[in-house]
């Protein structure tokens, strides 16, 4: 009964609908454990009127305090809807010049495909593990739930209260549009105004513009254009479990003509131990750590939550070559470094960890959580790397084929 009611609440997400209909759902804290992996979500068909309103709000610089910072300031359309608002630190500048964030801005493309947080136990897995949820730590369930985070985050859009945001929405040029779509009284209350904004944003993020699937990889899958020999070599290395093994987390299916099967993530979580980004002002405090999923685990009262400290959601790699910085803390500024890190993390740790402390961005107590068991990072000093320099180059060449058409000419 409990489980059934919970599923009803989840049905808005296409991804879990199928699983909920079929399976009995248990709970881990407030998070459902699904008996079957949900099917790939989409295609989405949001109302064009709502998507257009969401787009207007996404680009509206009046929604910050002080005005001037829109969602698009960080999720910059010139950078495939990622970027850091002009900051060179690897994390974004906020609405005030003295405010800098804590995490690198991910792309807002393909967000519609991120399922709600759930647990699932694969046949050969020892235990159920979490998948999905928005943000690097999965703490938001869907876009209507997510929007208040950037709006209220003092390091981002810096609003004083949701009531202030609602007032700004009532005065926005698209206020009448929101009333037309969501009801004449939709903006009368703070909760109503935020809900209308959230639903409009969700429609925008589900629109075709925000999931173009127009990369050279997509053309190749559909037999419309070739990839070069180097790119194909990169694809094989990316997939090969004895080489890059990248596809074990960054999942794709090059034999399916459904592009949503190639999002280059399984939405799972892992601790890969990226180096500390000392340019983030918060890291001046040696006790400051971003522990990722374990904060979400604590909020949802999962059992044995310390096992998730250092875990972050595996990002999709579409348009990765257009990104300014890489990883949740923006520690890397080139795509090649991000790939080389995997191959040489254990073999040349001094190249990555400046103070000689392995996994220096994970609190000492949780360093054992960092994945050192699976390829390509199951290597130690003196061993051969899983990928040599030429193989790293091939993987980078392959990753560049994942850039959608609007950014093809801009990929650095
Ligand atoms: C100051 C920069 C900044 C602004 C402004 C901003 N964001 Fe973000 N956004 C981020 C960062 C940083 C993250 C990653 C946060 C995290 O993982 O905890 C993020 C994450 C997201 C995600 C999650 C993506 C994923 O894959 O999980 C979505 C969706 C999103 N933002 C939408 C928005 C919307 C809508 C707005 C406007 C209301 C907005 N953002 C405003 C910086 C920004
Ligand atoms: C065991 C799972 C796993 C494997 C295997 C894996 N990754 Fe990742 N990848 C992740 C996770 C988790 C992150 C995010 C880590 C973070 O931000 O701290 C990530 C991040 C990345 C990023 C940065 C993306 C961004 O938007 O910042 C790139 C690039 C990347 N991986 C490429 C690869 C390549 C290439 C391989 C194979 C050589 C690979 N990954 C293998 C889990 C994995």
165 and 240 housed in the same domain: no
Per-residue pLDDT, 13: 45
Tell how far the Cα of 274 is from the centroid of ligand 2, in angstroms. 10
User: Considering only CA atoms, which residue is closest to atom 33 of ligand 1?
Assistant: 71
pLDDT digits (tens, 9 = 90+) for 335-371: 999 999 999 999 999 999 998 899 999 999 999 999 9
136 and 265 housed in the same domain: no
Ligand 2 nearest-atom number relative to CA 248:
5
195 and 230 housed in the same domain: no
Query: Of 171, 193, 210, which one is at a domain's C-terminal end?
Result: 210
| 42-64: average pLDDT | 97
Phi and psi at 329, nearest 5°, equal -105, 10
Ligand 2 nearest-atom number relative to CA 371:
1
Whether 260 maps to a domain, the answer reads: yes
**Hunting for tokens 């960890």 — which residue is that?**
353
CATH no. for residue 240? Answer: 1.10.760.10
Whether 201 maps to a domain, the answer reads: yes
Whether 412 maps to a domain, the answer reads: no
H helix runs in 59-132, sequence order: 71-74
**Hunting for tokens 């910085």 — which residue is that?**
325
Report the predicted TM-score, pTM, of the whole model to 2 decimal places.
Answer: 0.94
What percentage of the chain exceeds 70 in pLDDT? 93
pLDDT digits (tens, 9 = 90+) for 109-140: 999 999 999 999 988 889 999 999 999 999 99
Whether 388 maps to a domain, the answer reads: yes
Structure tokens at 378: 């199951």
222 and 330 housed in the same domain: yes
| 326-339: average pLDDT | 98
User: Considering only CA atoms, which residue is closest to atom 13 of ligand 1?
Assistant: 105
Pairwise pLDDT comparison (377 vs 151), residue with the higher score: 151
Residue 28 has pLDDT above 60, yes or no: yes
316 and 294 housed in the same domain: yes
Alpha carbons 324 and 377: distance in angstroms, whole number: 24
Mean pLDDT lowest among 60-74, 119-133, 208-222, 389-403: 119-133
245 and 140 housed in the same domain: no
Torsion of CA 198, 200, 204, 205, to 10 degrees: 20
Residues of the domain holding 71: 1-210
When divided into structural domains, the chain yields a total of 2
Contact 111 CB / ligand 1 (< 6 Å) = yes
What is the band of 410 on the pLDDT scale with cuts at 50, 70, 90?
low
Whether 158 maps to a domain, the answer reads: yes
Query: Of 178, 210, 242, which one is at a domain's C-terminal end?
Result: 210
169 and 287 housed in the same domain: no
45 dihedral zone (left: phi>0; alpha: psi -120 to 50; beta) = beta
Best CA proximity match to 199, nearest among 53, 4, 17, 73: 53
pLDDT digits (tens, 9 = 90+) for 224-282: 999 999 999 999 999 999 999 999 999 999 999 899 999 999 999 999 999 999 999 99
| Burial (0-12, 13-18, 19+ Cβ within 10 Å), 194 | buried
What is the band of 19 on the pLDDT scale with cuts at 50, 70, 90?
very low
160 and 20 housed in the same domain: yes
Whether 356 maps to a domain, the answer reads: yes
Whether 203 maps to a domain, the answer reads: yes
Per-residue pLDDT, 377: 84
Probe residue for ligand 2, chosen from 317, 336, 337, 372 as the CB with the greatest number of ligand atoms within 8 Å: 317
pLDDT, the chain, mean: 92
Termini Cα distance of the chain = 53
Per-residue pLDDT, 25: 76
| 152-161: average pLDDT | 97
Residues contacting 290, CB < 8 A, separation 6+: 102, 103, 328, 329, 361
Per-residue pLDDT, 394: 98
| 68-82: average pLDDT | 98
Whether 366 maps to a domain, the answer reads: yes
Per-residue pLDDT, 16: 46
Ligand 1 nearest-atom number relative to CA 205:
29
What is the band of 42 on the pLDDT scale with cuts at 50, 70, 90?
confident
Tell how far the Cα of 192 is from the centroid of ligand 2, in angstroms. 38
Tell how far the Cα of 11 is from the centroid of ligand 2, in angstroms. 30
Ligand 2 surroundings by CB, under 6 angstroms: 244-246, 248-250, 270, 272, 274, 312, 314-315, 317, 320, 323, 326-328, 335, 338-339, 342, 371, 374, 376, 395
Contact 73 CB / ligand 1 (< 6 Å) = yes
Per-residue pLDDT, 29: 83
Phi and psi at 165, nearest 5°, equal -60, -45
143 and 225 housed in the same domain: no
Per-residue pLDDT, 20: 46
Residue 21 has pLDDT above 90, yes or no: no
Alpha carbons 18 and 5: distance in angstroms, whole number: 15
Contact 85 CB / ligand 1 (< 6 Å) = yes
**Hunting for tokens 């974004």 — which residue is that?**
92
Check: CB of residue 214 under 8 Å from CB of residue 319.
no
Per-residue pLDDT, 22: 43
225 and 196 housed in the same domain: no
Probe residue for ligand 1, chosen from 53, 106, 133, 138 as the CB with the greatest number of ligand atoms within 8 Å: 106
186 and 220 housed in the same domain: no
**How many other CB atoms sit within 10 Å of the CB of residue 378?**
13
What is the band of 15 on the pLDDT scale with cuts at 50, 70, 90?
very low
Ligand 1 nearest-atom number relative to CA 157:
5
Ligand 2 nearest-atom number relative to CA 311:
12
Contact 155 CB / ligand 1 (< 6 Å) = no
Contact 243 CB / ligand 1 (< 6 Å) = no
What is the band of 68 on the pLDDT scale with cuts at 50, 70, 90?
very high
Query: Of 176, 210, 244, which one is at a domain's C-terminal end?
Result: 210
221 and 176 housed in the same domain: no
């Amino acid at each position: 009964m409990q489980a059934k009611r919970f599923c009803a609440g989840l049905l808005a997400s296409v991804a879990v609908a199928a699983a909920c209909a079929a399976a009995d759902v248990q709970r881990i804290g407030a998070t459902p454990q699904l008996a079957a992996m949900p099917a790939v979500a989409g295609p989405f068909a949001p109302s064009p009127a709502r998507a257009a309103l969401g787009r207007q709000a996404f680009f509206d610089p009046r929604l910050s305090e002080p005005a001037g910072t829109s969602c698009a300031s960080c999720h910059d359309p010139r950078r495939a809807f990622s970027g850091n608002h002009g900051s060179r630190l690897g994390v974004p500048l906020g609405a005030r010049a003295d405010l800098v964030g804590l995490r690198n801005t991910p792309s807002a493309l393909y967000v519609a495909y991120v399922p709600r947080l759930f647990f699932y136990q694969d046949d050969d897995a020892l235990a159920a593990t979490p998948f999905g949820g928005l943000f690097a730590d999965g703490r938001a369930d869907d876009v209507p739930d997510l929007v208040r985070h950037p709006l209220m985050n003092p390091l981002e859009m810096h609003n004083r209260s949701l009531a202030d945001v609602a007032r700004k929405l009532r005065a926005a040029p698209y206020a009448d549009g929101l009333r037309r779509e969501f009801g004449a009284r939709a903006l009368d209350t703070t909760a109503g105004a935020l809900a209308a904004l959230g639903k409009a944003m969700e429609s925008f993020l589900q629109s075709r513009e925000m999931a173009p699937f127009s990369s050279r990889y997509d053309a190749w899958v559909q037999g419309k254009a070739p990839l070069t020999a180097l790119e194909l070599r990169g694809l094989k290395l990316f997939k090969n479990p004895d080489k890059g093994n990248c596809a074990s987390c960054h999942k794709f299916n090059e034999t399916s003509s459904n592009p949503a099967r190639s999002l280059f993530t399984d939405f799972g979580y892992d601790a890969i131990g990226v180096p500390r980004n000392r340019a983030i002002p918060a890291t001046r405090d040696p006790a400051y750590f971003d522990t990722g999923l374990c904060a979400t685990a604590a909020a949802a009262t999962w059992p044995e939550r310390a096992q998730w400290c250092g875990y972050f959601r595996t990002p999709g790699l579409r348009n990765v070559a257009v990104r300014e910085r890489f990883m949740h803390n923006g520690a890397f500024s080139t795509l090649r470094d991000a790939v080389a890190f995997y191959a040489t993390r254990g073999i040349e740790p001094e190249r990555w960890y400046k103070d000689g402390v392995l996994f220096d961005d994970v609190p000492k107590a949780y360093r054992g959580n960092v994945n050192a068991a699976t390829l390509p990072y199951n290597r130690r000093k003196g061993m051969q790397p899983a990928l040599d320099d030429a193989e790293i180059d091939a993987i980078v060449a392959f990753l560049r084929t994942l850039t959608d058409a609007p950014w093809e000419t801009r990929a650095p």
